C-alpha cells in the first residue's frame, strides 16, 4: 500500500490497488521531486477596519515588522505584506497592499527568533497586545496561537509552505474566501489539499472510502467527487447505513421481487438498481452488519447481483463512496480491501484559518432564517449585505476552542452567540463561554510585568479592576503574579 499525499497535511488519498510508477507526479510534488519546506506564518482572522483581508497570510522572518502603511525608506527589517494565497496560483506570490488600519502604529509588532515551531512577538506600538487572551508586551508564540491587537485585528499563527504549493487543477473560479462550486469554504492548505484529493478521486473509477470525524463534511465530499466525475449527469443516490434495518438490509440494497418475501410486498428496485450508471453514497458504513458487507463483495467487484426472490442476475454499473468516522480496520477486512481509494478529511482543528470564513457564511445563513437578524448583525455596503459585526473576543475564543464535532459544533456555538447577544454585534456572551468545554482552549501565556503595570495604572491601583483588565479569574491570581515578577502590592484598593 502506498500513500498519495495531497498538497497539505490533514488530507490524503491512499491507492491500495495500484502502485504509481516512478514517472507518476504526486499531487504535491514539484518538478524537483521534493515538497516545499514549511515555515511560520500569521493569518488575518478578524479586522475592524479591513474585514476584506480575513484569510490573507504573511510569512514571518527574523526582524519582520507588522504595522500601518508602506515601509519607510530608513526602516530596518521586513514589513509584513499580506496576500490572498492559493496553492499553485501565480498570484499567491503577489503581496496585497500594505495594512491601512488607523488603529495600528507605523511599527506595531516586531517578530524575532523565528523558527518552524515558534517565534517571539513584541509590542512596540500603541495598540495593546494579547496572546490567547492574555495581555502581554512580549511573548513566545506557536502554531494555533491567537494574537490580538485590541479593537484592531486578530491574527492566527500557522504553518504553511514557504511559497505556493504545486496543487493541480486549483479552481480559481470563485472569489477568495467564498464557497467553491462544491460548497467548501476555506483557503487553508488543509482544505486545498482536500479539494485536490477529492478531484483525484473523482477522476478515478474506483470505489472510495471517506474517513473523518462527525461534522467534518463527509457527505459534502461525496457530492464533490460525484459532481466532478463522469457519472455527474445522474443524481447521486445517498443513504445512511445506520438507518438500514438489519432484517431488511439486503432488500434495501439489492431490492426484491413483488410478493417476496411476504405476500403483498411491493417490488423494490434497491439502492444498487437506483445507482446504476451513478454513484451510491453510504454514510456510516461501519454500522453495516458484517454479513451485509460480505454480500456486497461480488457486486463491488463485477457489478452482478440478484434481487431477493429472483433467480436471474442483474447488473449495476455503480460506484460506491462510503464514509465512516472509524478506522478502516473496523470494517470487515475483505470489504475494506474493495476501497482502493481512501480520502481522510481534515477537521476544524487542522484548518483553524478557515474558521472565520466559515463563521461569516454560517452567520449569514442562520440570520437569514430569522426575521430581522441580518439587519441587526450585518453591515450593508452599497445596498448589499457585507460583513457581520462580530466581537473580536468571539473570534478569539472560537480559534482557541478544540472541536469534536467540527462544523456542526461551530454552528451550534454561533446559534448560542446570536441568541444571547444583547446589542447589534455578536459577542462572546457568558452563556457561550460556559458552553465551551473547560480545558479545551489553547494555553494563554501569563501577563508579563509591563502588562501588569499598565493594567494597574489604567485601574489607578485597583487590583480587582486590573485583574479584570488582564482577563484573570480574580485579584488573588494577580497578587500571585505580582509577587512572581517582583511588584509591590498597592496599599489601597480605592
Give residue limits of the domains in the chain: 36-161, 207-339, 349-435, 449-485
Contact 120, 199 (CB under 8 A): no
DSSP annotation of 477:
H
Express each pLDDT in 118-133 by its tens digit. Answer: 999 999 999 999 999 8
Cell for 162?
A: 514557504
* The CATH classification of domain 207-339, taken from the options 1.10.3720.10, 3.90.1300.10, 3.40.50.300, 3.40.50.620: 3.40.50.300
At 443 the pLDDT is 60
Contact 356, 45 (CB under 8 A): yes
Render 127-163 in DSSP notation, one character per residue: S-EEETTEEESEEEE-TT-EEEETTTEEEEEEEEESS
* Percent residues over pLDDT 90 in the chain: 63
Q: What is the mean pLDDT of the chain?
A: 85
At 464 the pLDDT is 84
In angstroms, the CA 302 to CA 194 distance is: 29
Contact 121, 109 (CB under 8 A): yes
Say which CATH architecture domain 36-161 belongs to: Sandwich (2.60)
At 461 the pLDDT is 84
CATH number assigned to the domain covering 349-435:
1.10.8.60
Going by pLDDT thresholds of 50, 70 and 90, the confidence category of residue 77 is confident
In angstroms, the CA 225 to CA 279 distance is: 9
Extended strands (E) in 36-144: 38-47, 57-59, 65-66, 109-112, 119-123, 129-131, 134-136, 138-141
N- to C-terminal Cα separation, the chain: 71
Sheet holding 57-59, edge to edge: 57-59, 38-47, 153-161, 146-149, 129-131, 134-136
Q: Which of 262-276, 284-298, 478-492 has the lowest mean pLDDT?
A: 478-492
At 456 the pLDDT is 86
Going by pLDDT thresholds of 50, 70 and 90, the confidence category of residue 457 is confident
For residue 251, list its beta bridge partners: none
At 166 the pLDDT is 42
Q: Which of 73-82, 92-101, 366-375 has the lowest mean pLDDT?
A: 92-101
At 339 the pLDDT is 97
Q: Which of 94-98, 161-165, 448-452 has the lowest mean pLDDT?
A: 161-165
For the four alpha carbons of 212, 213, 219 and 220, in that order, the dihedral sign comes to negative
Q: Which of 107, 43, 29 is nearest to 75 (CA)?
A: 107
At 96 the pLDDT is 61
Going by pLDDT thresholds of 50, 70 and 90, the confidence category of residue 442 is low
Tell whether the model's pLDDT for residue 115 goes beyond 60.
yes
Tell whether the model's pLDDT for residue 82 goes beyond 50.
yes
Give, for 359, the enclosing helix (H) or strand (E). Answer: helix 355-368
Render 195-217 in DSSP notation, one character per residue: HHHHHHHHTS-S-EEEE--TTS-
Tell whether the model's pLDDT for residue 23 goes beyond 50.
no
Q: What is the mean pLDDT of residues 290-317?
A: 93
Tell whether the model's pLDDT for residue 92 goes beyond 80.
no
Amino acid at each position: 500500500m502506498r500513500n498519495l499525499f495531497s498538497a497539505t497535511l490533514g488530507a490524503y488519498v491512499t491507492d491500495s490497488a495500484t502502485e504509481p510508477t516512478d514517472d507518476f507526479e504526486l499531487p504535491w510534488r514539484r518538478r524537483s521531486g521534493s515538497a516545499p519546506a514549511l515555515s511560520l506564518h500569521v493569518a488575518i482572522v478578524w479586522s475592524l477596519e479591513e474585514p476584506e483581508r480575513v484569510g490573507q497570510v504573511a510569512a514571518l522572518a527574523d526582524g519582520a515588522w507588522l504595522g500601518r502603511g508602506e515601509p519607510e525608506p530608513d526602516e530596518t527589517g521586513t514589513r509584513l505584506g499580506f496576500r490572498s494565497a492559493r496553492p499553485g496560483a501565480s498570484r499567491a506570490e503577489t503581496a496585497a497592499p500594505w495594512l491601512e488600519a488607523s488603529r495600528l502604529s507605523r511599527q506595531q509588532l516586531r517578530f524575532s527568533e523565528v523558527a518552524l515551531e515558534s517565534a517571539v512577538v513584541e509590542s512596540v506600538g500603541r495598540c495593546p497586545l494579547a496572546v490567547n487572551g492574555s495581555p502581554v508586551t512580549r511573548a513566545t508564540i506557536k502554531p494555533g496561537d491567537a494574537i490580538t491587537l485590541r479593537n484592531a485585528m486578530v491574527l492566527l499563527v500557522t504553518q504553511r509552505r514557504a511559497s505556493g504549493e504545486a496543487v493541480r487543477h486549483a479552481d480559481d473560479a470563485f472569489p477568495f474566501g467564498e464557497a467553491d462550486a462544491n460548497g467548501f469554504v476555506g483557503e487553508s492548505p488543509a482544505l486545498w489539499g482536500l479539494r485536490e484529493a477529492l478531484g483525484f478521486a473523482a477522476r478515478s473509477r474506483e470505489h472510495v472510502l471517506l474517513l473523518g470525524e462527525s461534522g467534518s463534511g463527509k457527505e459534502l465530499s461525496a457530492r464533490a467527487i460525484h459532481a466532478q466525475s463522469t457519472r455527474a449527469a445522474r443524481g447521486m443516490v445517498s443513504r445512511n447505513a445506520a438507518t438500514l434495518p438489519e432484517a431488511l438490509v439486503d432488500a434495501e440494497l439489492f431490492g426484491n421481487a413483488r410478493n417476496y418475501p411476504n405476500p403483498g410486498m411491493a417490488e423494490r428496485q434497491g439502492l444498487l438498481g437506483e445507482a446504476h450508471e451513478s454513484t451510491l453514497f453510504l454514510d456510516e458504513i461501519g454500522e453495516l452488519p458484517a454479513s451485509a458487507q460480505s454480500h456486497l463483495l461480488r457486486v463491488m467487484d463485477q457489478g452482478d447481483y440478484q434481487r431477493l426472490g429472483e433467480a436471474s442476475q442483474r447488473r449495476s454499473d455503480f460506484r460506491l463512496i462510503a464514509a465512516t468516522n472509524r478506522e478502516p480496520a473496523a470494517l470487515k477486512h475483505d470489504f475494506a480491501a474493495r476501497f482502493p481509494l481512501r480520502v481522510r478529511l481534515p477537521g476544524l482543528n487542522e484548518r483553524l484559518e478557515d474558521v472565520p470564513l466559515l463563521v461569516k457564511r454560517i452567520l449569514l445563513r442562520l440570520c437569514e432564517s430569522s426575521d430581522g437578524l441580518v439587519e441587526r448583525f450585518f453591515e450593508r455596503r452599497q445596498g448589499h449585505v457585507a460583513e457581520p459585526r462580530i466581537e473580536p473576543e468571539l473570534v478569539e475564543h472560537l480559534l482557541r476552542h478544540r472541536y469534536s464535532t467540527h462544523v456542526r459544533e461551530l454552528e451550534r456555538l454561533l446559534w448560542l452567540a446570536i441568541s444571547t447577544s444583547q446589542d447589534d454585534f455578536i459577542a462572546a456572551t457568558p452563556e457561550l463561554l460556559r458552553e465551551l468545554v473547560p480545558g479545551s482552549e489553547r494555553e494563554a501565556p501569563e501577563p508579563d510585568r509591563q502588562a501588569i503595570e499598565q493594567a494597574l495604572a489604567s485601574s489607578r491601583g485597583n487590583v480587582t479592576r486590573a485583574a479584570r483588565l488582564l482577563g484573570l479569574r480574580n485579584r488573588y491570581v494577580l497578587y500571585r503574579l505580582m509577587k512572581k515578577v517582583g511588584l509591590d502590592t498597592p496599599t489601597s484598593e480605592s
